[in-house]
Amino acid sequence: MRFLVIDDSETITQFVGSLLQEEGHEVESCASNVDILKIAQSLRPDCVLLDLVMPGMDGFEICKKLRETPELANTKIIVLSAKSYEFDKRRAMQLGADGYIVKPIKAETFIPEINKVIKKEFVLAYWGTRGTLPVPGKDSLRYGGNTSCVTIQIDGEPLFIFDAGTGIKKLSNHLMSLGVKRLTAKIFISHPHWDHINALPFFAPLYIPGNEIEILGASQGDTTIRNIISAQMDNIYFPVTIREFGARVFFRDLRGGSLTIGKTTIDMHLLNHPGNCLGYRINHNQKSVCYITDNELFPKDLGYFDSEFEEKLIQFIQGTDILIIDCTYLDSDYPSKIGWGHSCVSEVVQLAEKAKVKALHLFHHDPDQDDDAIDRKMAQAREKLAQLGSHIKCLCAAEEKQFVV
């Protein structure tokens, strides 16, 4: 790759340049008192490494100008600065930086940190995959027994958490064991049924000063997401109220549309389930994951089938890298569950094939299904995909499994 290092310290430019050249990269460097835009437009670097505190134009101004230059739209910008303040990190990201590395630069970690920002992988992790009720015990060891909770972690972005079933307690334990400080997170609630919200009070980062957490959820008519969360923590039902939260906690009602958070766009789609239930499509760096839980796909031979809803849902999930979708029932279970708001294998498989998704993750496992039954569900889905001549990769979501998108 071609790098442009902008720093007034000759020691830094030489050190960084030698580390990059050892990896086979091309490196040019300059100070802040030259025509940086002209140099950058001429070089068309793959990545700019930029100090903040410099005479003349500072790093913030340079970052803004580089990001506003159409010819450099695909150039990554990484700040290298001795300033470790959260304000400076946030400001750099707001102005278009892709990453932020705090000096002093360490030779052993520098290249991995650079590669991490350039690749901008996002990591999908499952913390709870069940629907309705948690089912601990020997029959749920392979796929787990906790209810819905999924995370997506993108370097430099908030931690995105989808639903707060009992799996969020496992996530909480994980974060606390890592000693994560000053956590910034967005918790997206698909809908307020118990298996999607009832473990939120056990998410320890909510009680730690310095953390910043926003809870977002589908609007439920005249009831706000704040009222829904605070009501389940009313002292009649729970000994701790939301007044005990030590973190900065915000609430936002969602009604569809899309949100842009940093360099990530999150689109929303209303699903077919009692009450308002939102599905989410997370888009970043030309990759995407769709989280479509609690959704009933009616077979065409039922009077409830809605072709317009199906077509809109197909468009919403079209071509996604991973489709996480409600597949609560095996086909044989579904006839006695019609109208309960959940889907069976055949309908899910057909939807995934019509949308040409790349990978299909079956989610929201029925609490009455043990590990062997979930194995049968996966086998049934793969068989039906083969019958359709599909090349979609299919698996059943399992706790603590991670996937790099």
- Confidence at residue 285, expressed as pLDDT on a 0 to 100 scale: 82
- Give me the residue label for tokens 């360490």: 106
- Confidence at residue 182, expressed as pLDDT on a 0 to 100 scale: 86
Single-letter amino acid, residue 44: R
Four-way CATH pick for 2-119: 3.30.460.10, 3.40.630.10, 3.50.50.60, 3.40.50.2300: 3.40.50.2300
- Confidence at residue 256, expressed as pLDDT on a 0 to 100 scale: 87
Full pLDDT tens readout for the chain, 405 residues? 999 999 989 999 999 999 999 999 999 999 877 888 899 999 999 999 999 999 878 999 999 999 999 999 889 999 999 998 888 988 998 898 988 999 999 999 999 999 888 877 789 999 999 999 999 999 999 999 999 999 999 876 799 999 999 999 999 999 999 988 889 999 999 999 999 999 999 999 999 999 999 999 988 888 999 999 999 998 888 889 999 999 999 999 998 899 998 889 999 999 999 999 999 999 998 899 999 999 999 999 888 899 999 999 999 999 999 999 999 999 999 999 999 999 999 999 999 999 999 999 999 999 999 999 999 999 999 999 999 999 999 999 999 999 998
Q: Among 295, 263, 301, 260, which residue's Cα sits nearest to residue 278? A: 295
Distance between CA atoms of 373 and 30, rounded to whole angstroms? Answer: 62
Single-letter amino acid, residue 196: H
Q: At what angle do helices 36-43 and 59-67 cross, to 10 degrees?
A: 40
Q: What are the CA-CA distances from residue 314 to residues 124, 269, 340, 378 (Å)?
A: 22, 11, 22, 21
CA 245 to chain centre: 24
- Confidence at residue 286, expressed as pLDDT on a 0 to 100 scale: 87
Q: Among 114, 162, 121, 46, which residue's Cα sits nearest to residue 284? A: 121
What pTM did the predictor assign? 0.85
Distance between CA atoms of 161 and 317, rounded to whole angstroms? Answer: 19
Name all contacts of 307-312 with Cβ < 8 Å and 24+ positions apart.
309/272, 310/351, 312/269
Q: Is 135 left (phi over 0), alpha (psi -120 to 50) or beta?
A: beta
Domain ranges of the chain: 2-119, 122-404
122-404 architecture in CATH?
Answer: 4-Layer Sandwich (3.60)
Q: Which helix (H) or strand (E) holds 153?
A: strand 149-154
Distance between CA atoms of 9 and 30, rounded to whole angstroms? Answer: 10
- Confidence at residue 155, expressed as pLDDT on a 0 to 100 scale: 74
Q: Among 368, 350, 359, 374, which residue's Cα sits nearest to residue 405? A: 359
Distance between CA atoms of 381 and 327, rounded to whole angstroms? Answer: 10
Distance between CA atoms of 358 and 361, rounded to whole angstroms? Answer: 10
Q: Does the CA dihedral 326-329-331-337 come out positive or negative?
A: negative
